A and B are shown apart, each in its own frame.
Chain A
Amino acid sequence: MKYALYTGCVAKGAGRELLTSTYALAGKLGIELVELKNVSCCGAGVITEDNPELADTLNARTFAIAEEMGLEILNICGTCQGVMKKAQAHLDKDEKYKNKINETLKEGGHEYKGTVQIKHLLTVLSEDFGLSSLRSKVTVALDGLKVAPFYGCYLLRPFELSDFDDPDNPTEMEVLIETLGGTSIDYEGKLKCCGFPYLMMKKKESITMAGNHIASAKKEGADCMVTPCPLCHLSLDPYQPESAKEIGQELDIPVLHLPQLVGLAMGLKPKELGMQKHIISTKKLTDKIGC
């Protein structure tokens, strides 16, 4: 199994433990990753506000490069996945538009043909690698660990671009958690927005939003939350002390990146997964599963 790894900006910035844990997990599972180092940011839905065609062109360039490598794109960021799927839909539904964008790419020696597959790590683990293979590799079962999955908007909505069968009632994260031996918990904030996109504009509202979701996970007895999107992580983990203060409630819930949770079950050590970098200590949960 070999993929073109699109790291996204956060995994190279404030969430480098996501990249660390992705490589550690891929190594453990024998998944080969070729990092795309010559591609730009996906635009995170922001460049498209400035210029929609520019945003689609930058993404088309990324798609073209992956096509040249003959590999599928593997995203480790939910936002990158959602934004790319949207760009791909724009290109694929309008031949004239695609040709226009390819004219721009041509000078750089690239052409988007429309063959590339764009997948998030969650789908790669659940479908390509497969849950039964994953189960057979579990060495530290997450027995008794109550995990609250936090999906993030971009893997769910719009439905027509989601990889999930029923995005209003998804089971993909839950099934994965149960495969690792953990207990998945249902809670009110599971499918809601983390508030990150307007953290710099409306801090009070953003941290309230995050705080409410963490509180709802805690109410259902969560030991930790897990998210496939590092933007959600940035909202839920580093700002959690502010969120707790804003909503007037103690929270203290660790927020794991998806490959960290899977990595723990595969026997990787917390340090190998960069968990010492979290603001909310993960010690209680690693003690609970004995690693």
Chain B
Amino acid sequence: MSETTFKIQRFNPEKEKEPHFQEFKLEIQKGATLLDCLNQIKWTQDGTLTFRMSCRSAICGSCAVRANGHAVLACKTQASSLTRNDQVTIQPLGNMEIIKDLAVDLTEFWKKVEAVKPWLMPDEKETLVFERTQSIEEFLKIDRASTCIMCSSCYSDCCSMAVDKSFLGPTALTKAQRFVEDSRDKETISRIKELSEDAGIWDCTHCSECSQRCPTEAKPLDRIVSLRTVALNNGVTNNNGARHAKTFVKSIKSSGILNENTIPVGSMGFFNIPGLLSLIPVGIRMFLKGKNPPLIHHPMEELDDVKRIFKKFEKK
């Protein structure tokens, strides 16, 4: 069996200015996980290599690292699946400060989870005969979110987080969905109002990185979409994100295809003068190149059938 080169990012902020890579050679044993390999390296080659681990069974969420640029749970990933030309690159999770080597500072991560009030807030005045029960359908709405193991893989690879550290992020929002859509919780509206504020549910770009890196069935993007549906269905729409969604749907309902000219004012709001003014340079630039959407918007053919479908859903 040939040796694999593990190119591992090392960093001790107390002694070094910048992180650097160190190479370790290891023969990957059949069936070995990435965590097995990291342990082998630590035990037999360099005891100072630092990383988190605990259960080795993909349930504690401690051992997430980035392999070849993407977050993985080390104990759930076969090392052989990561090698490219007999090499694998290991780095600490992204979007967080490094404590040492592969261990990152999770303080902000946990603060954001706490910020969504991750506990049940039922109607305390309710007279209970036995306990608060749920139907299977009600339970299934929160079942997926409940599988989150807080490994922060999604948080690490979130593209929105990379440019805005204030974003609540996929883990906290997944946790939020677990309570917003819990039939026993009575704070749905106040929760969704808070989550609709800046740095909340509308600050996600749909890039799907979170769901892709999630090692469980929690799939954060689906949970975020679900939260947005709750916001729209409950009229919590006084923000750019919800206004954008409403304007988009209205445009399709009226002409079958998107009238891009309606989006800026619809999304930003008619009275958002600074926001709209900021779009003037790009608008002029596009107009001069003939890149603006047609001034007269042509609806799709057979629009009546699409309008009929929209009407049917309104009735529902």
Chain A interface (Cβ within 8 Å of chain B)? 9-10, 12-17, 37-41, 43-54, 57-58, 61, 104-105, 107-108, 110, 153, 156-159, 168-169, 192-193, 195-198, 200-203, 205-206, 208-209, 212, 238-239, 241-242, 276-279
Taking a contact as CB atoms under 8 Å apart, the answer to whether B300 and A39 are in contact is yes
Question: How far is B232's CA from A156's CA once the two chains are assembled, in angstroms?
Answer: 28
Question: How far is B240's CA from A237's CA once the two chains are assembled, in angstroms?
Answer: 23
Question: How far is B288's CA from A276's CA once the two chains are assembled, in angstroms?
Answer: 11
Q: Is residue B207 within 8 Å, beta carbon to beta carbon, of the partner chain?
A: yes
Question: How far is B196's CA from A49's CA once the two chains are assembled, in angstroms?
Answer: 14
Cβ-neighbour of B207 out of A37, A192, A208, A212 (below 8 A): A192
The list of the 5 closest CB pairs from A to B, nearest first, reads: A193-B207, A157-B208, A13-B293, A200-B267, A9-B258
Question: How far is B309's CA from A51's CA once the two chains are assembled, in angstroms?
Answer: 12
Known pairs A40-B306, A46-B249, A49-B232; list 14 more (Cβ under 8 Å). Answer: A13-B260, A14-B260, A14-B293, A17-B291, A41-B256, A43-B252, A50-B232, A50-B246, A51-B229, A193-B205, A193-B206, A195-B159, A198-B241, A279-B285
Question: How far is B313's CA from A104's CA once the two chains are assembled, in angstroms?
Answer: 10
Interface string of B3-24 (1 = CB under 8 A from A): 0000000000000000000000
Q: Is residue B153 within 8 Å, beta carbon to beta carbon, of the partner chain?
A: no
From known contacts A48-B225, A57-B309, A198-B205, infer whether A41 and B241 are also in contact, taking CB-CB under 8 Å: no
**Min CB gap A171→B, angstroms:** 12
Chain B interface (Cβ within 8 Å of chain A)? 68, 70, 84, 159-160, 162-164, 202-209, 211-212, 225, 228-229, 232, 240-241, 244-246, 248-249, 252, 256-260, 263-264, 267-268, 275, 278, 281-282, 285-286, 289-294, 298, 300-302, 305-306, 308-310, 312-313
Question: How far is B244's CA from A196's CA once the two chains are assembled, in angstroms?
Answer: 13
Cβ-neighbour of B305 out of A49, A54, A108, A242 (below 8 A): A108
Question: How far is B202's CA from A206's CA once the two chains are assembled, in angstroms?
Answer: 13
Question: How far is B309's CA from A61's CA once the two chains are assembled, in angstroms?
Answer: 10
**What are 15 A-B contacts defined by CB distance under 8 Å?**
A12-B294, A39-B256, A48-B225, A49-B228, A49-B232, A49-B245, A54-B310, A57-B313, A195-B205, A198-B241, A212-B163, A238-B291, A242-B282, A277-B291, A278-B291
**Min CB gap B270→A, angstroms:** 14
Question: How far is B225's CA from A104's CA once the two chains are assembled, in angstroms?
Answer: 24
* Residues of chain B lying within 8 A (CB to CB) of residue A14: 260, 286, 291-293
**Min CB gap A100→B, angstroms:** 11
* Residues of chain B lying within 8 A (CB to CB) of residue A238: 282, 285-286, 291
* Residues of chain B lying within 8 A (CB to CB) of residue A276: 289
Taking a contact as CB atoms under 8 Å apart, the answer to whether B248 and A47 are in contact is yes
Taking a contact as CB atoms under 8 Å apart, the answer to whether B294 and A202 are in contact is no
From known contacts A43-B252, A47-B249, A52-B229, infer whether A38 and B309 are also in contact, taking CB-CB under 8 Å: no
From known contacts A51-B313, A157-B212, A200-B264, infer whether A40 and B252 are also in contact, taking CB-CB under 8 Å: yes
Taking a contact as CB atoms under 8 Å apart, the answer to whether B244 and A201 are in contact is yes
Taking a contact as CB atoms under 8 Å apart, the answer to whether B306 and A58 are in contact is yes
* Residues of chain A lying within 8 A (CB to CB) of residue B209: 153, 157, 193
* Residues of chain B lying within 8 A (CB to CB) of residue A157: 207-209, 211-212
